[in-house]
């Protein structure tokens, strides 16, 4: 046979242009060299294009997209697939059209277009079945099962996976079984996960050595490791099975020179040693994994092993070396943060950026604060406090980007400066909950500066409360639930405990600097509660200070507020529509606000259809937009909305309407949503509410944490606007303080359920 091949070659038979490149690209991908595979696929694409081979060019684009997706570059993968789709359509190639649909569906599963996955995969499956293309049908079924599992349709997903296995070759069947076992683990179907992970390991053994085999071993190992932790039996033998599978993956990786797989196999072995406390064995393995990740420039693996090295150094008491390792990990992660946020925060991931990698930021902040305790030089202490706070700030920016699934945060940051420098009357209080304590970092007023010079931040004062995040969260949860129960005063116990932890240590500082406003940068469950309702045993916090919140120190436009007495757009719904209860006090609320601002036009009830509200924004730039209607902020941004008479305004709709003014340097001063709500205990929804001004492109938002009595709401809102209009020297936070304290003195509305949920979010000035 070798002689025949040689003779054919000598006779001048050559592969089609691009074909050799395509085969090389597939070989590179099989060894895990996806960066090189991408480049080879692009060379193949150019050769196919020169030969006017549309089918070959489409196949090269599909290969390029697959390699890009393997690297986590979903945006670039989808761009390649869009080009492939155009070629397939022009060529009327049904086979390629089906392949592109399947590839787009699978790539979208963990992208910001996740909601498009199911339809694309069902279309591809229908076409594949009609054409009796078993391989493509199996791929579509596998992707569809992942989507169904993310929708909690576990049994439907298992059925789809079983169908995919029946149509698959051996290698594909192993990948499908791994997805099936992973879904079982997420669904806490532990016996299923154990059985199917065993099938993955057994099936992988029968495969020829390759990248897929190595990662199948590691995928099964990860399921065994998590089963040891999560399943009630805590079978210690599972850890040994996991370790042996990682060793098997290492052997395969060495055999085929797959450095990516080798890096992961070594790093995962180090993680198992770390778990059992054998740091001496874990560290060299992790460092080897790290060195390989650096060689192949794999940022995804690199930040993982940099983080693991940092943890291990911290656990062995090498704090300064650990800090340097953490800094490197954060820098690496920041370079791929957008890709990680996309993969972690979309609808199918069942996770979030914070759950996936948030601990990296908090662990670094913790170590920096520990070092600040140990040093004595004042300048070094301030630098460490600022770095710790800045590290926490990076996480907040990433969380918002993750929640909103767009780059609105980065767009706004180009127009910001730190809010520390814009007021000498407000205390900026950064709250950092940690496992064993809660840190309060308070910014003092900036020092005087010469005319024309840039202001500089003042000192940071640090206070430490000996309550860990778990205990703090438990009290916060109870506080929020009790606040909404207007029939009891059970909230007082938590209100006073939280005051003692978070406010009392700051009181001497507040008095010394004569602060009149407290601006909180909360974190986690702290976002779900109104700080105004904390209680010192005699008075609520709002009776002593104006209160505002901001999602971050650099996530809002921080200029001094413009005069809010500009153009006003007012709209509201008082009738019962779309199964929501009526709001009978809305007409009076809109009328009173309109009179204050000489605004005669309002969009009430049937006038407040979605098209009319959207049309208003095209008329003139507004200073204030006030919408008195039911609103809901959900942990899933796609389920967040403000009710219109005939439909719903999404947060994307609000951004589309409001953002152009910001980009034209005519930002909306205030967005008021006077009847919105978030669910108690839903930190992610509260994150969405905290970021609503950032998302919309407004300087500030005036909104509520929960649905409020309609009569009380109308009174607070009208009093708030009256304060703003009649006393222009007052800040928004002070105007809200006056309105809230007036309501709590009304015997009918003394309970904080009525007055506490109102928040000024963003620029409080």
Burial (CB count <10 Å: 0-12, 13-18, 19+), residue 313: buried
How crowded is the C-beta side of 331, counted as CA atoms within 13 Å?
7
For residue 500, name the pLDDT band (cuts at 50, 70, 90). Answer: very high
Q: What is the pLDDT of residue 285?
A: 98
Q: What is the pLDDT of residue 730?
A: 92
Instruction: Flag whether pLDDT at 581 surpasses 80.
Output: yes
Instruction: Flag whether pLDDT at 7 surpasses 60.
Output: no
Instruction: Flag whether pLDDT at 179 surpasses 50.
Output: yes
For residue 621, give Cα distances in angstroms to 610, 662, 671. 18, 10, 13
CA dist 111 and 406 (Å) reads 11
For residue 459, give Cα distances in angstroms to 315, 378, 379, 671. 31, 10, 10, 32
For residue 337, give Cα distances in angstroms to 69, 116, 395, 615. 16, 23, 10, 36
Instruction: Flag whether pLDDT at 208 surpasses 70.
Output: yes
Kindly report the backbone phi and psi dihedral angles of residue 204, in degrees, each rounded to the nearest multiple of 5, phi listed first: -65, -35
Instruction: Flag whether pLDDT at 10 surpasses 70.
Output: no
Q: What is the pLDDT of residue 632?
A: 93
Q: What is the pLDDT of residue 620?
A: 78
For residue 560, name the pLDDT band (cuts at 50, 70, 90). Answer: very low
CA dist 453 and 422 (Å) reads 14
CA dist 356 and 343 (Å) reads 10
Q: What is the pLDDT of residue 406?
A: 66
For residue 553, name the pLDDT band (cuts at 50, 70, 90). Answer: confident
Q: Which tens digits make up the pLDDT trace of 530-542?
A: 999 999 999 999 9
Annotate 108-127 with b (16+ C-beta within 10 A) or e (fewer).
Answer: bbbbbbbeebbebbbbbbeb
Q: What is the pLDDT of residue 13?
A: 59
For residue 423, name the pLDDT band (cuts at 50, 70, 90). Answer: confident
Q: Which tens digits make up the pLDDT trace of 641-699?
A: 999 999 999 998 998 998 887 666 778 899 999 888 988 888 888 888 988 888 888 88
Q: How much is the average pLDDT of 450-470?
A: 88
List, as one string, the DSSP characters of 541-561: GGGTSEEEE-S-TTSS--SPP
């Amino acid at each position: 046979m070798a002689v025949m091949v040689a003779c054919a070659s000598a006779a001048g038979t050559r592969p089609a242009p691009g074909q050799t490149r395509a085969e090389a690209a597939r070989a590179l991908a099989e060894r895990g060299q996806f960066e090189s595979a991408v480049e080879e696929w692009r060379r193949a694409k150019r050769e196919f294009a020169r030969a006017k081979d549309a089918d070959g060019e489409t196949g090269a684009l599909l290969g390029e997209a697959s390699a890009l997706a393997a690297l986590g570059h979903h945006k670039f993968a989808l761009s390649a697939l869009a080009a492939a789709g155009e070629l397939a359509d022009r060529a009327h190639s049904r086979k390629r059209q089906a392949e592109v649909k399947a590839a787009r569906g699978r790539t979208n599963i963990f992208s910001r277009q996740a909601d498009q996955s199911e339809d694309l995969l069902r279309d591809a499956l229908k076409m594949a079945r009609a054409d009796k293309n078993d391989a493509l049908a199996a791929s579509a079924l596998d992707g569809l099962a992942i989507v169904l599992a993310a929708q909690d349709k576990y049994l439907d997903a298992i059925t789809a996976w079983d169908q995919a296995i029946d149509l698959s070759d051996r290698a594909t069947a192993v990948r499908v079984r791994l997805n099936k076992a992973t879904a079982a683990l997420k669904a806490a179907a532990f016996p299923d996960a154990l059985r199917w992970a065993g099938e993955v390991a057994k099936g992988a053994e029968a495969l020829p050595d390759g990248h897929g085999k190595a990662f199948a071993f590691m995928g099964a190992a990860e399921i065994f490791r998590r089963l040891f932790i999560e399943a009630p039996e805590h079978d210690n033998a599972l850890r040994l099975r996991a370790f042996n599978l990682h060793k098997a993956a290492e052997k395969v990786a060495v055999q085929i020179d797959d450095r990516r797989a080798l890096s992961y196999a070594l790093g995962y072995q180090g993680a198992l040693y770390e778990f059992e406390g054998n740091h001496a064995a874990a560290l060299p393995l992790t460092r080897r994994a790290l060195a390989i990740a650096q060689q192949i420039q794999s940022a995804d693996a690199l930040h993982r092993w940099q983080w693991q090295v940092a943890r291990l150094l911290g656990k062995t008491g090498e704090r300064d070396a650990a800090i340097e390792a953490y800094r490197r990990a954060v820098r690496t992660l920041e370079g791929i943060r957008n890709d990680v946020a996309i993969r972690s925060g979309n609808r199918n991931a069942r996770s979030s950026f914070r759950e996936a990698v948030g601990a990296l930021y908090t662990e670094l902040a913790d170590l920096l604060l520990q070092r600040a305790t140990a040093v004595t030089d004042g300048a070094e202490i301030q630098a460490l406090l600022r770095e710790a706070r800045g590290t926490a700030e990076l996480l907040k920016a990433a969380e918002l980007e993750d929640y909103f699934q767009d780059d609105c945060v980065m767009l706004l940051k180009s127009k910001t400066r730190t809010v520390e420098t814009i007021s000498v009357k407000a205390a900026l209080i950064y709250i950092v909950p940690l496992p064993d304590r809660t840190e309060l970092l308070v910014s003092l007023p900036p020092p005087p500066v010469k005319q024309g010079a840039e202001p500089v931040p003042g000192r940071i004062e640090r206070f430490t409360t000996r309550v860990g995040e778990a205990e703090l969260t438990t009290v916060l949860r109870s506080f929020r639930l009790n606040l909404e129960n207007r029939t009891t005063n059970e909230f007082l116990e938590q209100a006073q405990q939280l005051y003692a932890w978070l406010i009392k240590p700051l009181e001497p500082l507040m008095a010394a600097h004569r602060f009149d406003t407290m601006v909180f940068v909360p974190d986690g469950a702290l976002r779900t509660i109104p700080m105004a309702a904390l209680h010192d045993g005699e008075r609520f916090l709002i009776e002593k200070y104006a209160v505002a919140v901001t999602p971050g120190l650099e996530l809002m436009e921080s200029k001094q507020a413009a005069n809010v007495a500009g153009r006003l757009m007012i709209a509201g719904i008082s009738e019962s529509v779309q199964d929501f209860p009526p709001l009978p006090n809305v007409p009076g609320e809109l009328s009173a606000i309109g009179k204050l601002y000489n605004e005669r036009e309002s969009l009430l009830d049937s006038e407040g259809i979605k098209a009319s509200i959207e049309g208003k924004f095209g008329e003139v730039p507004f200073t204030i937009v006030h919408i008195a209607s039911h609103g809901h902020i959900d942990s899933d941004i796609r389920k967040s909305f403000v009710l219109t008479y005939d439909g719903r305004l999404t947060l994307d709709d609000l951004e589309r309407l409001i953002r152009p003014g910001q980009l034209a340097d005519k930002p909306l001063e205030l967005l008021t949503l006077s009847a919105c709500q978030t669910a108690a205990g839903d930190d992610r929804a509260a994150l969405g509410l905290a970021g609503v001004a950032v998302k919309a492109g407004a300087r500030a938002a005036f909104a509520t944490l929960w649905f409020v009595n309609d009569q009380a709401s109308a009174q607070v809102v009208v009093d708030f606007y009256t304060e703003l209009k009649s006393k222009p020297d007052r800040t928004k936070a002070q105007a809200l303080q006056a309105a809230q304290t007036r309501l709590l003195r009304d015997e009918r509305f003394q309970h904080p359920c009525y007055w506490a949920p109102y928040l000024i979010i963003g620029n409080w000035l």
